[in-house]
Amino acid sequence: MIDRAELDLFRNSLRQAVERYSGLELDAALAAAGWADALEADPPAAAAVLFPLLGSANATCRALEQVFTAAAGIKPPASSIVVMPPLGNWSPPASEIDGRLSVRGVGRPGPGGSQALVVTAGGQARLVDAGDIRIRQIHGIDPSFGLAEIEGENLAFEPAGPARWDDGVTLAQIALGHELAGSARKMLDLARDHALERIQFGRPIASFQAVRHRLAETLVSIESAEAMLDAAGGEPHAELASMAKALAGRAAKTAGRHCQQVLAGIGFTAEHPFHRYFRRTLLLDQLLGSTRTLTEDLGRSVLSARRLAQLLPL
């Protein structure tokens, strides 16, 4: 465990890195700030520090892949593409038949990556040659995230050991939830600042109850997601993590709707930063299960069990 004072120092150095850099430069700055050591020492605590900052700064880096592989117990070669499931999905992206692999998912190719790391439905990590798979760079809603669609059939592979897929998904969902919540908080900050500065009818629009209640509703939604994210990080558990990710996705949607409305015309322009956060949350919501798919899945399991799981004891 990391103690509180260490955590504050760590947060400060990560904040400086995240506010200054993105992409490969940020990966290097995070390495210099001790991110890898923190991730090894206390994965949920480390993720809870970095990912809200990433969301707030709209920065990208390879931390998601690192969190996933650390929690899944995989040590991939540096710069390999870590293949995640297709959008909206959280099942392993590869299946193995007669010693060959089929892969369908998404991932972020970087420079120098000659291999892709996949996990099979049987819980085995495998390395495939990047030249054997089809990689389509996704521009889509958020080109700056660097995501690509990845597909391949009948692939040869090298074994890379067993993988704890569910553990990897659990921690990666918590990390994504924190990033969504961080983005949602940033949208709320942008809308709050605008509401206090924008004068109409002789008063700041923040003085109008319709505006205040939209922003209050946004804060409620974010804080409820954060409560579940903290709980899920304290006792990493698949059901808590998927609920936390769904709640964070819903909070980001709530923030997007209300903050866009409060920002009004200026928030609809490309020059205002709002749209970058809005775009990012739409993409993050789809990674490792969306609010919609996770919620339906939870509902199905509760309906078939006909009872609630006893979670979150005092």
Partner 1 sequence: MELDAFRKGLDDWLDQNEAVLSPDHDPPGTLDQQMGQLAKVKRLGYDAGWMRWGWPEHAGGLGGSTILRAYLGEALTARGLVEPGVYSMTEVLAPTVISFARPELTAEVLPHLLRGEEMWCQGFSEPGTGSNLSSLSCRATRTEAGWTVNGQKVWTSYAQYAKRCVLLTRTGTQESAHKGITALLIDMDTPGITIRPLETMHGAEEFSEVFYDDVVVPFDRTLGEVDQGWTVAMDLLPYERSTSLWHKCAHLQRRLSDLLRAVEPHALQAAEVGEVVQLLYAFRARSRSTQHRMANGDSLGAETSIDKVLVASAEQAVFDLVAAGLPHQLVAADEPAGARWRTEFLYSRAATIYGGTAEIQRNIIARRLLDLGDDR
Say whether residue 296 binds partner 1 (CB under 8 A). yes
Say whether residue 227 binds partner 1 (CB under 8 A). yes
Enumerate residues 6+ apart whose C-beta is below 8 A from 172: 64, 67, 68, 71, 288
Cα distance between residue 150 and residue 127, in whole Å: 14
Say whether residue 4 binds partner 1 (CB under 8 A). no
Say whether residue 243 binds partner 1 (CB under 8 A). yes
- Alpha carbon distances (Å) from 51 to 62, 135, 222: 11, 27, 15
Q: Which of 207, 238, 264, 276 binds partner 1 (CB under 8 A)?
A: 207
Say whether residue 231 binds partner 1 (CB under 8 A). yes
Beta strands in the chain (DSSP E): 81-82, 94-97, 100-107, 115-119, 124-129, 134-137, 148-155, 158-162, 199-200, 203-204
Instruction: Map the footprint of partner 1 across residues 103-142, applying CB under 8 A.
Output: none
Q: Mind spelling out the 3-state secondary structure of 145-186?
A: HCCEEEEEEEECCEEEEECCHHHHHHHHHHHHHHHHHHHHHH
CB of 280 to partner 1, least distance (A): 22
For the chain, the distance separating the N- and C-terminal CA atoms, rounded to the nearest angstrom, is 21
Say whether residue 195 binds partner 1 (CB under 8 A). yes
Q: Which of 228, 241, 255, 284 binds partner 1 (CB under 8 A)?
A: 228
Say whether residue 220 binds partner 1 (CB under 8 A). yes
The nearer residue to partner 1, 13 or 207, going by C-beta atoms, is 207
Enumerate residues 6+ apart whose C-beta is below 8 A from 121: 91, 92, 94, 95, 96
Say whether residue 224 binds partner 1 (CB under 8 A). yes
At which residue do the structure tokens 């400086």 appear? 16
Say whether residue 210 binds partner 1 (CB under 8 A). no
Q: Which of 28, 31, 156, 311 binds partner 1 (CB under 8 A)?
A: 311
CB of 297 to partner 1, least distance (A): 7
Contact map string, positions 140 to 179, toward partner 1, x by CB under 8 A? ----------------------------------------
**Total residues binding partner 1 (CB under 8 A):** 45
The nearer residue to partner 1, 156 or 302, going by C-beta atoms, is 302
Strand pairing report for 199-200 and 203-204: antiparallel
Residue-wise over 233-249: b if at least 16 C-beta within 10 A, else e?
beebbeebbbbbbbbbb
Q: Which of 36, 45, 219, 264 binds partner 1 (CB under 8 A)?
A: 219
Binding site for partner 1 (CB under 8 A): 192, 195-196, 203-204, 206-209, 212-213, 215-217, 219-220, 223-225, 227-228, 230-231, 240, 243, 246-247, 250, 292, 294-300, 302-303, 305-308, 311-312, 314
